[in-house]
Amino acid sequence: MLLIFDCDGVLVDSEVLSCRIDAEILTEMGVPYTAEDIARQFVGVSLKDQIARIEAERGCTIPADFSKRLNHALFERFETELQPVPGVREAILSLPYPRCVASSSTPERIALSLRVTGLSDLFEHVFSATEVACGKPAPDLFLHAAAQMGANPRDCVVIEDSSAGVQAAIAAGMRVIGFIGGGHCGPEHREKLRAAGAPVVIERMSELPEIIQQLISPHP
């Protein structure tokens, strides 16, 4: 059994901050977005895929320094404001299974997020969408993580907060648990994850150990 955790919105409560900053910088560059637009369209999507979609949909060219400006602003805010998802450390420590992180974010952002929230020591293995050809909702990242960890996809459980992540896990042939405890999750988020294919959705990390046990227990 391998547990694969998304980072943003699952381990760290970063999505509200990142969506706000993302929208501010795009708007300053002449491509107006609101934080709500970003949350609705791009949560769980890699930055590379986000830029490609914006350029295609808006018929524009995103300035080459967008990634640099975004990361600078994000990292500055993360250092002082980023918090772990409540209860996530305790939930992870109660689960006696191999685990890793597989995130759409860059390696630098993942490392910073885990460091400032005090979660770095929980994960020896961290995988980024920058390591694969296609980000979520394609299965590439999760399949890459499983291969690197020596796990069969059918023996993996993914914990995800985004529709793209849920779809990626299912496409990879893995079991998936939806999580809606992040600050960016509105009242409609549970149904969004269910519509994406998550058979079970939890609101608190304290629920995770019991759900994992139910998933791996043989059915009568």
**Tens digit of each residue's pLDDT (9 = 90 or more) over 3-26:** 999 999 999 999 889 999 999 999
Q: What is the pLDDT of residues 130-172, one digit of tens each?
A: 999 999 999 999 999 999 999 999 999 999 999 999 999 999 9
pLDDT exceeds 90 at position 104: yes
The residue ranking higher by pLDDT, 39 or 120, is: 120
User: What local confidence, expressed as pLDDT, does residue 44 receive?
Assistant: 78
**12 - beta bridge partners?**
8, 84
155 catalytic per annotation: no
Tell me the average pLDDT across 31-44.
90
* 159-195 per-residue burial string, b: 16 or more CB within 10 A, e: under 16: bbbbbbbbbbbbbbebbbbbbbbbebbeeebbebbee
**Angle of helix 163-171 versus helix 140-149 axis, rounded to 10:** 60
State both tokens at 115: 């460091």
pLDDT exceeds 60 at position 176: yes
8 catalytic per annotation: yes
Which position among 8, 22, 49, 161 bears the catalytic label? 8
User: What local confidence, expressed as pLDDT, does residue 216 receive?
Assistant: 77
User: What local confidence, expressed as pLDDT, does residue 125 receive?
Assistant: 98
Q: What is the pLDDT of residues 62-74, one digit of tens each?
A: 999 999 999 999 9
Distances (CA, A) of 151 to 121, 144, 174, 192, 220: 21, 10, 11, 28, 25
Which position among 6, 13, 22, 49 bears the catalytic label? 6
pLDDT band at 220 (very low <50, low <70, confident <90, very high): very low
Tell me the average pLDDT across 175-182.
96
Q: What is the pLDDT of residues 183-218, one digit of tens each?
A: 888 889 999 999 999 999 999 999 999 999 988 776
Domains in the chain, please, with CATH?
2-14+83-216 (3.40.50.1000), 15-81 (1.10.150.240)
pLDDT exceeds 80 at position 93: yes
User: What local confidence, expressed as pLDDT, does residue 218 receive?
Assistant: 61
